[in-house]
C-alpha cells in the first residue's frame, strides 16, 4: 500500500468532478494543460480514493491510498506533490507583491508597521486567467482585491442581456463590488450586482474573510485609505456620467483616454464603445479621424 504524509494545510478531499478540484487549487490553466487528460483523471481518482486519518500528535494528515496499484500511486504522488509544491511557491506573498502593495498604501496614508503587517496577512495572491472572473453577480466574496498585474472590466448585465461597462481596473487599483463596506465597519456586503472580468491574465491580492478583515481594519488609517480610493473612482464615474450627458462622442473618447491612459491599446473596441455609450462602428470612425488629425 502506498503512503505519504502531507502537511495539515494541504487537505485533499472528494469533489464532484476533477474540474472542481482544479478550480479549488486555482492553479494557472497552463499548468493543468501540460498534463494529459489521463493524468488528470488519475489525479482525481487518487483524491477521491484517499482515506484521511487525523494524527493529533503530529498535527499532520496521513493519507492512505487505496484501490490503486502501488506503481500508479507512486506516479500520481509524484505529480500531486509537485503540484502542491508549485501551489505553495507560486501563491505565497512574494516580496515584489508586498513592495507593490506597500507603495500603494503609502501613496495614500502613513501606516505603522503593525497596521501594515496586519493588512498584508489578510491578503492571498491568486492568478486569474483572461476571461475568468474575480467577482460574479450574486457573489458576496472576494470582499476586495488589489491588482498586482493585469486588467479587469467591471460591468453588469441588463434584463435584455446587454452588458453595460461600469469601470476598468488595472495595476495598483483596488476593486470591490461592495465599496460601502470598506469604509463602514458595521455594514456587511450584500450580493454583488456586478461582474469583474479579467481582460488579461492577472495576479490579484484578495481578501475573502470579511469579518476577520473588518476586525483588523478598524484602525482609522484604513478608512482614510479606502475613502480616498473610493473618492478617486467616484470622481471618474461622475465625470463619465456628466460626459455622457454633455459631451459628443469624440469628447467622450478623449475623456476615456485621459482617465485610463494607455488602455485604448489593451481593451477591445467593443468594450470601450460600451463604456462611452456609442457603437463600435462610431468608435472606429472617431479613432480613424483622430489618427488622420494626429490627435491621440
The cell for 121 is 496577512
- What is the largest distance, in Å, between two alpha-carbon atoms of the chain? 75
Least confident of 69-73, 107-111, 206-210: 69-73
Distance in angstroms (rounded) separating the CA atoms of residues 172 and 273: 24
Does residue 265 carry a pLDDT above 50? yes
Extract the runs of DSSP E, i.e. beta strands, from 171-225. Answer: 174-175, 195-198, 202-207
Confidence (pTM): 0.67
Q: Residue 70 has what pLDDT? A: 52
Q: What is the residue-averaged pLDDT of the chain?
A: 75
The answer to whether the CB of 130 falls within 8 A of the CB of 201 is: yes
Residue whose C-alpha cell is 481593451: 267
Half-sphere exposure in the Cβ direction for 170 (13 Å, CA): 9
The pLDDT, as a whole number, for residue 51 is: 35
Cα separation, 192 vs 183, whole angstroms: 17
Task: With a cut of 80, say whether residue 185 has pLDDT above it.
Answer: no
Q: Quick check: 209 and 142 in contact, CB under 8 A?
A: no
Q: Domain map of the chain by residue range?
A: 3-90, 95-240, 247-292
> Which is higher by pLDDT, 184 or 150?
150
Total residue count of the chain as it appears in this document: 296
Arithmetic mean of pLDDT, 251-276: 92
% of the chain beyond a pLDDT of 90: 32
> How sure is the predictor about 7, in pLDDT bands with cuts at 50, 70 and 90?
very low
pLDDT score at 130: 94
- Examine the pLDDT at 293 and tell me if it is beyond 70: yes
Q: Which residue has the cell 480616498?
A: 228
CATH number of 95-240: 2.60.120.10
Query: What's the pLDDT band for 251 if we cut at 50, 70, 90?
Result: very high
Q: Which of 96-105, 178-187, 278-287 has the lowest mean pLDDT?
A: 178-187
Segment 193-208 shows an average pLDDT of 92
Question: What residues are paired with 202 via a beta bridge?
Answer: 128
Name the grid cell of 157. Answer: 448585465
My answer on whether omega of the bond before 142 falls inside 30° of 0, hence cis, is yes
Residue 184 CA to residue 222 CA, distance in Å, equals 11
Of 105, 143, 115, 146, nearest to 128 by C-alpha is 146
The model's confidence at residue 120, banded by pLDDT at 50, 70 and 90, is confident
> Where does the pLDDT of residue 39 fall: very low under 50, low under 70, confident under 90, or very high at 90 and above?
low
pLDDT at 289 over 80: yes
Residue 157 has phi, psi (to 5 degrees) of -110, 125
Determine the Cα–Cα distance for residues 274 and 109; give it in Å rounded to an integer: 35
CA separation for the pair 188, 215 (Å, rounded) = 12
pLDDT given for residue 90 in this prediction: 47
Q: pLDDT tens digits, residue range 66-100?
A: 444 555 555 555 555 555 554 444 456 688 888 89
Nine cell digits for residue 28: 494557472
The reported pLDDT for the residue numbered 178 is: 78
CA pair distance 271, 131, nearest whole angstrom: 13
pLDDT at 107 over 80: yes
Beta partners for residue 153, in sequence order: 168, 197
C-alpha to C-alpha distance for 272 and 276, rounded to whole angstroms: 6
pLDDT in the model for residue 25 = 52
Long-range contacts, 50-58 (Cβ 8 Å, 24+): 50/12, 50/13, 52/11, 52/12, 52/13
pLDDT (tens digit per residue) in 133-170: 999 998 888 888 999 999 999 998 888 888 888 899 99
| Per-residue DSSP letter, 26 | T
Amino acid at each position: 500500500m502506498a503512503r505519504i504524509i502531507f502537511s495539515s494545510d494541504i487537505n485533499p478531499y472528494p469533489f464532484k468532478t476533477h474540474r472542481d478540484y482544479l478550480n479549488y487549487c486555482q492553479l494557472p490553466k497552463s499548468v493543468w494543460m501540460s498534463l494529459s487528460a489521463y493524468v488528470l483523471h488519475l489525479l482525481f481518482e487518487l483524491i477521491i480514493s484517499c482515506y484521511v486519518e487525523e494524527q493529533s500528535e503530529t498535527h499532520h494528515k496521513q493519507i492512505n491510498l487505496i484501490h490503486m496499484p502501488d506503481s500508479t500511486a507512486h506516479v500520481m504522488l509524484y505529480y500531486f506533490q509537485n503540484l502542491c509544491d508549485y501551489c505553495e511557491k507560486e501563491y505565497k506573498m512574494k516580496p515584489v507583491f508586498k513592495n507593490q502593495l506597500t507603495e500603494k498604501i503609502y501613496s495614500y496614508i502613513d501606516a505603522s508597521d503593525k497596521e501594515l503587517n496586519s493588512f498584508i496577512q489578510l491578503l492571498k495572491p491568486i492568478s486569474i486567467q483572461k476571461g475568468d472572473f474575480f467577482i460574479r453577480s450574486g457573489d458576496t466574496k472576494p470582499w476586495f482585491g488589489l491588482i498586482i498585474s493585469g486588467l479587469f472590466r467591471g460591468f453588469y448585465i441588463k434584463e435584455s442581456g446587454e452588458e453595460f461597462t461600469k469601470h476598468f481596473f488595472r495595476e495598483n487599483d483596488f476593486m470591490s463590488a461592495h465599496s460601502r463596506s470598506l469604509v463602514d465597519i458595521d455594514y456587511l456586503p450584500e450580493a454583488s450586482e456586478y461582474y469583474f472580468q479579467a481582460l488579461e491574465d492577472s495576479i490579484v491580492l484578495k481578501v475573502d474573510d470579511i469579518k476577520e478583515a473588518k476586525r483588523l481594519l478598524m484602525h482609522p488609517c484604513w478608512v482614510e485609505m479606502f475613502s480616498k480610493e473610493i473618492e478617486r473612482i467616484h470622481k471618474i464615474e461622475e465625470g463619465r456620467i456628466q460626459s455622457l450627458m454633455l459631451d459628443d462622442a469624440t469628447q467622450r473618447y478623449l475623456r476615456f483616454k485621459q482617465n485610463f491612459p494607455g488602455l485604448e491599446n489593451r481593451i477591445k473596441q467593443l468594450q470601450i464603445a460600451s463604456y462611452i455609450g456609442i457603437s463600435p462602428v462610431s468608435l472606429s470612425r472617431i479613432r480613424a479621424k483622430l489618427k488622420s488629425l494626429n490627435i491621440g
